[in-house]
Chain A
């Protein structure tokens, strides 16, 4: 445990130490509930976060849907702990951290994000966050973190349902199963999050579910892209839409009619799920990307190099993260050049007969300072929907 003066993150921050000291002598230890705010734009992420908290912990959990919402709640009342997402509309996590520091709001903040770039972690710690946790949230990681900071002690009287590994004699990090076995003597109850609880974490629909899975998968893809380009990449917010096959071109929301595009696609398939990933570049962007990647000459083959290089990295990382979260092994086909120098509606025009409603995830990367953007499109077939609904159902149960 840190002493005030030794805390590497917070040594200059007065209220940080105050807050932790407050916890040591906190009435929580004598049975009062800690006030916790979970801020995330995704209902699924809010729910996952709430579930990751130790079940035998006395707490009062509230939710905020974006940064502005969180700040107004933080200003109004006293809070002990804030779990904060980074990638949000209205006001993102960085903005919230800045405001907390500026207004000296007395709350300990733990950032929970799918953005795994080392730079993201460094930025939030510098802005005063206590810790940075990767999504998807792991209950054991949360429990360990809360114990490190002396905020939480597992209920030692609680019966253990999961056998402990011999090398860990003390139940330092209770497993999800162990912590869900609540003792009836708990003074306050753990939050009961219902799947369709409007006042709690909020209901999760299929689009919201996909958006959050995409968000975490994208974090892994962006990290690779950032390393390749040697820049920090601001995480875009994935957009999920249902589109008829003939309207696929509408998935590229910011497409310019006068611009021409080139694209690579790669099919993927697993048990119950199939689809295709597409990477689209406007022709002006692709030249900028080529020079950013260090390709000296220009021309046909360079554009294809760029498309193949980037799609290999982005598709691979994204689909790996996507499959892992769905507990599914995905097979990837060989990437194919879909077309070059075409308008978006020609490029994505459908020549087949079969009509279906697709699930479409659009991720728009903008690389600051390089006048360059590209669209990562992950399209799922209509018959993947039952599989996704089932896996969403598991999550809600």
Chain B
């Protein structure tokens, strides 16, 4: 159906899409070494894809909650299911700056994380993909609303 050239072209725009999507995409092998790192991750971390390739995610980011993240990854690999974390349980996984550094109110980027198993041609899970969602806007709004409600409640109880 597809000729080799069109397959190559398909790959080209697919790679372009992965590069430019406003979601962080990281592929790590089971040892935690980075295999893929898209544009979002490059821009926000300051590390280029070639700088991080084959390096341990936990060495690159000493602040990462290693035990917590390793446990999540292990579950994903063993159960072959996706795992989700919300900014409400852990405000951020990667220490990135607020994507709106001027008008934003919080110093750091709030993140939701999805961990997804990636299987090889043999059907075995060999890698996992981390998808990092920027939810700073939602989180800031919700936090501001909470604060306003607390103030209102305090006023009422006077």
Footprint of B on A, CB under 8 Å?
A: 245, 248, 265-267, 269-272, 274-276, 278, 329-331, 333-334, 336, 338, 348, 351-352, 354, 358, 379, 381
> Provided the pairs A269-B43, A330-B43, A331-B40 are in contact, do residues A275 and B102 lie with their beta carbons within 8 angstroms?
yes
Bound complex: CA A278 to CA B101 (Å): 12
The answer, yes or no, to whether B99 is at the interface (CB within 8 Å) is yes
- Assess whether B97 is in contact with A269, with CB atoms less than 8 Å apart: yes
- Assess whether A333 is in contact with B22, with CB atoms less than 8 Å apart: yes
The B contact surface, by secondary structure, is loop
CB distance from B50 to the nearest CB of A (A): 13
Bound complex: CA A272 to CA B22 (Å): 19
Minimal Cβ-Cβ distance residue in B for A248: B102
Residues in B with CB closer than 8 Å to A351 are 105
CB distance from B20 to the nearest CB of A (A): 9
Apart from the given pairs A267-B100, A275-B102, A333-B99, 4 other A-B contacts in the complex at a CB distance below 8 Å: A265-B100, A266-B100, A269-B44, A379-B102
Bound complex: CA A272 to CA B40 (Å): 15
Q: Which of B22, B40, B46, B101 contacts A275 (CB 8 A)?
A: B101
Bound complex: CA A336 to CA B106 (Å): 15
List the 3 shortest-distance A-B pairs measured between CB atoms, nearest first.
A331-B43, A276-B102, A267-B100
Footprint of A on B, CB under 8 Å?
A: 22, 39-40, 42-44, 46, 48, 97-107, 134, 137
| CB pairs A–B below 8 angstroms (6 shown) | A245-B102, A267-B98, A267-B104, A331-B44, A336-B100, A336-B137
CB distance from A70 to the nearest CB of B (A): 38
> Provided the pairs A351-B105, A354-B107 are in contact, do residues A270 and B100 lie with their beta carbons within 8 angstroms?
no
Residues in A with CB closer than 8 Å to B99 are 267, 269, 333
- Assess whether A381 is in contact with B101, with CB atoms less than 8 Å apart: yes
CB distance from A54 to the nearest CB of B (A): 36
- Assess whether A329 is in contact with B103, with CB atoms less than 8 Å apart: no
- Assess whether A265 is in contact with B103, with CB atoms less than 8 Å apart: yes
Minimal Cβ-Cβ distance residue in B for A331: B43
Minimal Cβ-Cβ distance residue in A for B96: A269
- Assess whether B101 is in contact with A331, with CB atoms less than 8 Å apart: no
Bound complex: CA A381 to CA B102 (Å): 7
Residues in A with CB closer than 8 Å to B106 are 352
CB distance from B109 to the nearest CB of A (A): 10
Residues in B with CB closer than 8 Å to A271 are 42-43, 46, 48
Q: Which of B42, B48, B100, B107 contacts A333 (CB 8 A)?
A: B100
Residues in A with CB closer than 8 Å to B107 are 352, 354
> Provided the pairs A269-B44, A329-B42 are in contact, do residues A334 and B102 lie with their beta carbons within 8 angstroms?
no
Residues in A with CB closer than 8 Å to B104 are 267, 352
Residues in A with CB closer than 8 Å to B103 are 265, 276, 278, 336, 338, 348
CB distance from B156 to the nearest CB of A (A): 24
CB distance from A26 to the nearest CB of B (A): 51
Bound complex: CA A170 to CA B109 (Å): 55
Q: Name the residue in B44, B98, B99, B100 with the highest tally of chain A Cβ atoms < 10 Å from its Cβ.
A: B100
